[in-house]
Amino acid sequence: MDITSRMAGILRQLRQARGWSLTLAAEHTGVSKAMLGQIERGESSPTVATLWKIATGFNVPFSAFFSTQLPAAVAASGDMRAVPVFPYDETLRFDLLAVTLPAGALSESSPHEQGVIEHVVVIEGVLEMGLNGNWQQLQAGEGLRFAGDIAHAYRNLSAAPCYFHSLIHYPQR
């Protein structure tokens, strides 16, 4: 099963398990009813930002949309690629993602569920993190821990790609 089909099936399962219509799912996620329908039908593959909104709206980890059998499964928007390093662990409640941000790219993230903590560690390149509009530059080997339940953005103004790890810790339910 390809990644688009897998995401379509998982979105449909999540929505049906809650008894939500596409309209109600759109209200909870902030993603349009039309886009959710396209994703469910396998007609569209969501960007990283859209997938984050869906995961947050359904209160599931980001990696829930990726097969643990397919380590090469990738969520990609035009500017960002995120690959789960480990499958989501329900006991430890975290996602660990390997992220690549191309030269000149900007990726904005809507706030995650309340209580989410994100840890970003730059492996290669230079990353700028925007937290509530304030930007901080991180070099290779540097990290930043922040509340993921605020608006945040990732920016790479350099001429080379930036590679970083993002560990997202979800609160107890």
Alpha-carbon span 144 to 139, nearest angstrom: 11
Q: What is the mean pLDDT of residues 83-106?
A: 89
* CATH fold for the domain made of 75-169: Jelly Rolls (2.60.120)
DSSP single-letter state for residue 171: P
Q: pLDDT tens across 51-92, in order?
A: 888 988 888 888 887 754 433 445 554 578 888 888 788 889
Domains 3-65 and 75-169 share a fold: no
Q: Where are the domains of the chain?
A: 3-65, 75-169
Question: For residue 161, what are the CA distances in angstroms to 39, 53, 77, 101?
Answer: 28, 25, 15, 6
pTM for this one? 0.72
Q: What is the mean pLDDT of residues 99-125?
A: 92
Alpha-carbon span 156 to 172, nearest angstrom: 33
Q: pLDDT tens across 3-48, in order?
A: 788 888 889 988 888 899 999 999 999 999 999 999 999 998 888 8
CATH of 3-65 among 3.40.50.670, 1.10.260.40, 3.30.1550.10, 3.40.50.2300: 1.10.260.40
Q: pLDDT tens across 124-150, in order?
A: 999 999 998 899 999 999 999 999 999
pLDDT of residue 70: 36
pLDDT of residue 164: 97
Alpha-carbon span 22 to 127, nearest angstrom: 36
**Does residue 100 have a pLDDT over 80?**
yes
149 or 173: which leads in pLDDT: 149
